[in-house]
Amino acid sequence: MNELLDILKDLKPGVDFENEKNLIDDRILDSLDVMNLTVELNDEFDIEITPLDILPENFQSIETIYQLITRLQEDN
Amino acid sequence: MAYTTYIYLLLFLGSTFLLYTVFPKKYKWIVLLSASYLYYILASRVWMIIFILLTTISIYIGAIWLDKINDIFVSVKKSLDRQQRKELKEKILWQKKCVVVFILFINLGLLIFLKYSNFLISLLNISILEQFQISIPLIKLFLPLGISFYTLQAISYIVDVYRGKYHADECLSRVALYLAFFPTIVEGPITRYNEVAYQLYEGHSFDYKNFTFGLQLILWGMFKKIVIADRANMLVNYVFDDYLKFSGLSVVIAIIFYTIQLYTEFSGCMDIVRGSAQLFSIRLPDNFRQPFFAKSINEFWQRWHITLGSWLRDYVFYSVSLSAPFKRWSQFVKKHGNEYVSKLLPASTALFFVWICNGLWHGASIKYVMYGMYYYLLMMLGMYLEPVFMKIKNAFHIQNQNKFFQIFSIIRTILIVNIGMLIFRADTLSSAWHMLVSCFQGTMDIPYMGLALKDMMIVIMGVIIVYIMSLLKEKNISVREHIAKWHIVPRWTFYLTGLMIVVIFGAYGRGYDIVSFIYAQF
Amino acid sequence: MNKQNMKNILKMMIFLCLVITLLHLSSRIVEPKQNTKESGIKYENARGFYGERQNSLDIIAIGNSDLYNAMNPLQLWHEQGIPSYVCAEPSQKIVEAYSLLKQTYLNQTPQLIILEVDELFTKSDVDDLDISISETLKEIFPVFDYHNRWKNIQKDDFIKEKVYNQKILTKGYKYYNNVQSYKGGKSYLKNKKKSSLTYTTQYYLNEFIKYAKNNGSQVLLMCCPTANTWTMDKHHTIQKIADQYQLQFLDFNMLLDDIDFDWTHDTRDGGNHLNDFGAQKVTHYLGNYLKLQYHFQDYRTHQDYQNWNQDYLEYHQKLKYYKGKNGFIGK
């Protein structure tokens, strides 16, 4: 989780990722950020995020992103 | 049969609505499907319907095929050990890939052949064959109505099934209706299967609120299209057709008027389309979200032609950026480049494909490719120079929340968009350049520009009304809901005034040319 | 049906009534109060029949621009003594011809209606239907026709009743004297063009003929020489219709040699429209034909028609000084 938080803070400094619950709906993350994030996550956690996983609900908050990562790790 | 004609609004939409209302709930989709095919035949040629039928059947069968392959995997999955499972999974994935590529090949191939073959031939002629003194003759082709729109919808369906977002639909009529639904066939919005198909297919009984809201939306769209856009069109044509005669302020006015025209026309058409669908209690996605309040180009394109933007994001941007070769490329950049570049280079590569597609989608010519590249380069500029901008901002202690800075950003965006529109409208790139330069030369005089002063005033007043409405919407105030709560006398006065404004100030009939929708050509 | 639905339907009805009232009121304001261009009529030369004495015209000819460049009522008067009027508008469609026909019976009882048939060949039913809906709306609510008059509305428009009594000197004919040759001779008749009539056109043609006959008029189908639209196939189509309704069909494209027509000299725009030289030939032949076929009375010496003789003289007087380019109709 902390690892993820670091990545996010690196990606978009100044955002309160611990408490934001609507990253996509509030347009804090756009498609470029999501793409950069997936590239980063793929590397860092050794998972494979596919276009299918890029749904707004998966990227709304740090918790949902974390859930996505754990789900993909289990799949592997 | 454009959406602003009497025959569409009074006869076609009216009778479809009546039939839809009286048909039993279970069979209402039959009314919509037959109306859609009838519309297609009436608005184009009878035999052209073959193309949309071909697309419909190909994606219908393709999607079921993909699901069948998946089913085999699921049914035998349990009996296999880990290693075998992995092997089978790869094999299945390969099979699925073959199917989806085959279906895409048919549909994209058709689109590319019909829309782009002459462009490709002329490129080939100019670049290579000219040196050998030979040339391939151009082919005379008909472009089926709405092919650029329904093909994108077809692709989104088949790719979503391939990605496993949802299952293939067993119901052929639902797939057919999704592609051919008559309000969306000519200019979009480009809808998604999971958002719209079931709404279209299930019967909705008459709903008074939806009915009245639908009519209001149509009226609002008519206001934008025939009061503002068709009027602005006269000035735009007058100047652009003879641009060498104008310079200075008059060119600036013409460019702004074209931006006004394109926005009011396209968004007006979308209102008529969404209003038409709402009569049947069908909600279509929004295609515009007050684009001229955007503070950056990026934001502008999230507010302008939204359904095209999101389609390009989901099926071009993510497909490219999450593909295997691309991942290798970004890892390569990461290893060899510095941190700054490695962060930006992958995204800029993926975006390149998005903007090439965006440009080409609008038309098969160099001009439209340049139109796409114009926005691409500006976005890249913004991305790569962001540290510089940050430094400047810090030096002047400008906060993003600063009101003046926000207004400055909005105006800057509008300026950039206007130049983009100029490229879009001008006949060639060189005439666009000529006009852009002539903005800064010549006089401040305003000669006659094909539009009487009184008409000019109507356009300006119309724009003010549109601006106020957008401002309210930007502040999350739903004007329609608000007015619906008014007392009946002011409320009806408002509606009746709106109707009479369209009837009296509409630029239709004697003295005005009927203007066909610009986006219907794509 | 429950109470709420009843209430809603009632509301819609009342709303519709209000819309109709508003359209009607605004129509009365913007409707031209005189049959002139200045008052807002777009094609005033097609509507000068209002200014003619009640029931004085024997022939009303209706058609598109081909007609007002080919048939000259004053020449017809001078040669045969038949009072006629040309109600022709640029790119008129049969629906519009039909509504113009109905207007002419308001103050005239013509024995013969001439319909110029070039306008019958339209692109598609969809377009025709759209025009017919638009025309119906315009008939009921003229605001759809004259809405653009908001720009120059005056106080009179609110208080005055409409009075149509303006005459057109040329009786609907448009005089041009410039020459721009067409060099193809008679070859245009072999061109291949869509030569079938749409269902909408057939319907309105039937209504048109029925209406004229019910009002005691005969109908003559006519086609002026026109090189850029007419073909042999179209001729056959119209001939079939003429046979079906037992009407006469006079196609000048088949009579080019009989009237000594010269495409290099008698057209003003390369074969689309005739100039006065062409019109003289067509009108002369038409006059003899009408005399022979229909036995019209010769009014040249009739005391009620002396103003026609004056109009003829005035027309030729004015032509001597006419040097314009836009077509002379005189008022």
| Per-residue confidence band for B312, with pLDDT thresholds at 50, 70 and 90 | very high
Q: Report residues of chain C scoring pLDDT below 70.
A: 1
pLDDT at B140 over 90: no
Asked if residue B116 belongs to a domain, the reply is: yes
Asked if residue B432 belongs to a domain, the reply is: yes
Q: How far apart are CA B175 and CA B178, in angstroms?
A: 5
Q: Which range marks the domain in which residue C131 is found? A: 31-321
pLDDT tens readout for residues B333-370: 878 877 777 778 888 888 999 999 999 999 888 899 99
Do B39 and B160 fall into the same domain?
Answer: yes
Boundary-marking domain end, from B171, B203, B235: B203
Structure tokens at B184: 């969306």
DSSP H helices, B314-362, are: 318-321, 324-336, 339-362
* CB B243 within 8 Å of CB B431: yes
Structure tokens at C238: 């119209």
Do B246 and B189 fall into the same domain?
Answer: no
Neighbours of chain B (3+ CB pairs under 8 A): A, C
Q: Which range marks the domain in which residue B504 is found? A: 216-284+427-522
Which pLDDT value is given to residue B518?
Answer: 67
DSSP A48: -
Average pLDDT estimate for B274-295 = 95
Q: Pick the closest to residue B233 from B515, B520, B517, B519 (CA basis).
A: B515
* CB B490 within 8 Å of CB C189: no
Do B69 and B35 fall into the same domain?
Answer: yes
| Per-residue confidence band for B513, with pLDDT thresholds at 50, 70 and 90 | low
Pairwise CB contact (< 8 Å): B6 & C148 = no
Q: Pick the closest to residue C278 from C48, C43, C75, C113 (CA basis).
A: C75
Q: How far apart are CA C39 and CA C51, in angstroms?
A: 15
Residue in the structure block whose two tokens are 């030979």: B134
Pairwise CB contact (< 8 Å): C144 & B43 = no
Range in A41-55, B210-224, C83-97, C162-176 with the lowest mean pLDDT: A41-55
Which pLDDT value is given to residue B125?
Answer: 84
Q: What is the CA radius of gyration of chain C?
A: 22
Q: Which of C8, C15, C22 sits opposite B500 (nearest CB)?
A: C22
Q: H or E stretch including B433?
A: helix B429-438
Q: How far apart are CA B278 and CA C1, in angstroms?
A: 22
Angle at C52 between CA C50 and CA C56, to 5 degrees: 120
Residues of chain B contacting residue A27, judged by C-beta atoms under 8 Å apart:
302
Do B161 and B256 fall into the same domain?
Answer: no
* CB B101 within 8 Å of CB B45: no
What is the number of structural domains in chain B? Answer: 2
* CB C167 within 8 Å of CB C57: no
Asked if residue B155 belongs to a domain, the reply is: yes
Pairwise CB contact (< 8 Å): C19 & B499 = yes
Do B169 and B250 fall into the same domain?
Answer: no
- Total residues belonging to chain C: 331
Pairwise CB contact (< 8 Å): C148 & B510 = yes
* CB A56 within 8 Å of CB A31: no
Q: Does the CB of A64 have a partner CB in chain B at under 8 Å?
A: no
Q: Which of B1, B496, B509 sits opposite C144 (nearest CB)?
A: B509
Which pLDDT value is given to residue B261?
Answer: 96
Do B198 and B242 fall into the same domain?
Answer: no
Q: Pick the closest to residue C45 from C318, C331, C243 (CA basis).
A: C331
At B52, give phi and psi (nearest 5°): -70, -35
Asked if residue B496 belongs to a domain, the reply is: yes
Angle at B287 between CA B283 and CA B289, to 5 degrees: 110
Residue in the structure block whose two tokens are 């998972």: A47
Q: How far is B471 from chain C (nearest CA, A)?
A: 29
Asked if residue C3 belongs to a domain, the reply is: no
Asked if residue C177 belongs to a domain, the reply is: yes
- Strands C112-116 and C59-63, sheet pairing: parallel
Average pLDDT estimate for B377-387 = 89
Do B244 and B101 fall into the same domain?
Answer: no
Q: Does the CB of A52 have a partner CB in chain B at under 8 Å?
A: yes
Pairwise CB contact (< 8 Å): A39 & B321 = yes
Structure tokens at C116: 């110029």
End-to-end CA distance of chain A: 19
Most A-contacting residue of B322, B354, B384, B474 (CB-CB within 10 A), to test interface:
B322
* CB C258 within 8 Å of CB C288: no
* CB C70 within 8 Å of CB C225: yes
Structure tokens at C20: 């109709």
% of chain B exceeding 70 in pLDDT: 98
Do B195 and B240 fall into the same domain?
Answer: no
Which pLDDT value is given to residue C1?
Answer: 58
Residue in the structure block whose two tokens are 């029931």: C55
Q: Which of B1, B42, B505 sits opposite C150 (nearest CB)?
A: B505
Boundary-marking domain end, from B140, B169, B203: B203
Contacts 24+ apart (CB under 8 A), B318-326: B318/A31, B318/A35, B318/A51, B318/A54, B319/A51, B319/B159, B320/B349, B320/B350, B320/B353, B320/B354, B321/A35, B321/A38, B321/A39, B321/B346, B321/B347, B321/B350, B322/A35, B322/A38, B322/A49, B322/A50, B322/A51, B322/A54, B326/B350
| Per-residue confidence band for B521, with pLDDT thresholds at 50, 70 and 90 | low
Tell me, what's the ipTM?
0.88
Q: Is B102 helix (H, G, I), strand (E, B) or coil?
A: helix
Asked if residue C278 belongs to a domain, the reply is: yes
- Strands C218-223 and C248-251, sheet pairing: parallel
Q: Which residue from B minimizes the CA distance to C152?
A: B454
End-to-end CA distance of chain C: 62
- Three-state SS string over C131-190 comes to HHHHHHHHHHCCHHHHHHHHHHCCHHHHHCCCCCCCCCCCCCCCECCCCCCCCCCCHHHH
- Three-state SS string over C58-83 comes to CEEEEECHHHHCCCCHHHHHHHHCCC
Do B278 and B195 fall into the same domain?
Answer: no
Do B88 and B179 fall into the same domain?
Answer: yes
Pairwise CB contact (< 8 Å): B454 & C151 = yes
Q: Does the CB of C137 have a partner CB in chain B at under 8 Å?
A: yes
Which pLDDT value is given to residue C319?
Answer: 87
Q: H or E stretch including C86?
A: strand C84-88
What is the number of structural domains in chain C? Answer: 1
Which pLDDT value is given to residue B123?
Answer: 84
Per the prediction, chain B carries an average pLDDT of 90
Which pLDDT value is given to residue C287?
Answer: 95
Domains of chain A as residue ranges with CATH: 2-75 (1.10.1200.10)
Residue in the structure block whose two tokens are 């369209």: B502
Which pLDDT value is given to residue B522?
Answer: 59
Q: Give the number of A-B residue pairs with CB atoms closer than 8 Å.
A: 40
Q: How far apart are CA C294 and CA C203, in angstroms?
A: 27
Do B136 and B102 fall into the same domain?
Answer: yes
pLDDT at A12 over 90: no
* Residue C172 identity (one-letter amino acid): G
pLDDT tens readout for residues B141-189: 788 889 999 999 999 999 999 988 899 999 999 999 999 999 999 998 9
Average pLDDT estimate for B417-436 = 92
Pairwise CB contact (< 8 Å): B7 & C147 = no
Q: How far apart are CA C52 and CA C71, in angstroms?
A: 18
pLDDT at B293 over 70: yes
Do B125 and B198 fall into the same domain?
Answer: yes
Question: What is the domain-level CATH number for residue C157?
Answer: 3.40.50.1110
Q: Which of B6, B506, B511 sits opposite C130 (nearest CB)?
A: B6
Pairwise CB contact (< 8 Å): B314 & A35 = no
